[in-house]
Amino acid sequence: MKTPRYPLSFQKGKYAATDFMAKKEMAMKILMSFMLVLAVLMVPLGLSAQQEKAQPPADPAQVRTPLEHKQGMPKMSEMQMKECDEMMSRMKEMDARLDAKVADMDAAEGDQKVAAMAAVIKEMVSQRKEMQAHMMKMHDMRKGHMMDHMKPEMGNNADKE
Please state the rounded mean pLDDT for residues 78-82.
Answer: 82
Instruction: Decide which of 124 and 73 is more confident.
Output: 124
* Neighbouring residues of 124: CB distance < 8 A, sequence distance ≥ 6: 98
Closest CA to 103 of 85, 123, 86, 88: 123
Q: How confident is the model at residue 47 (pLDDT cuts 50, 70, 90)?
A: confident
Closest CA to 141 of 71, 73, 83: 83
What is the rounded distance in angstroms from the CA atom of residue 136 to the CA atom of residue 132? 6
Q: What is the pLDDT of residues 127-161, one digit of tens each?
A: 999 989 988 888 887 777 666 666 665 555 555 54
* Neighbouring residues of 127: CB distance < 8 A, sequence distance ≥ 6: 94, 97, 98
Q: Look at phi and psi of residue 20 and say left if phi exceeds 0, alpha if psi is from -120 to 50, else beta.
A: alpha
Quick check: pTM over 0.75?
Answer: no
Instruction: Please report the pLDDT score of residue 99 as a whole number.
Output: 93
Residue 73 contacts residue 99 (beta carbons within 8 Å): no
Residue 17 contacts residue 23 (beta carbons within 8 Å): no
Least confident of 19-28, 52-61, 62-71: 62-71
User: Distance between terminal CA atoms of the chain?
Assistant: 89
Rounded to 5 degrees, what angle do the CA atoms 44, 31, 20 make?
170
Query: Domain ranges in the chain?
Result: 8-42, 78-160
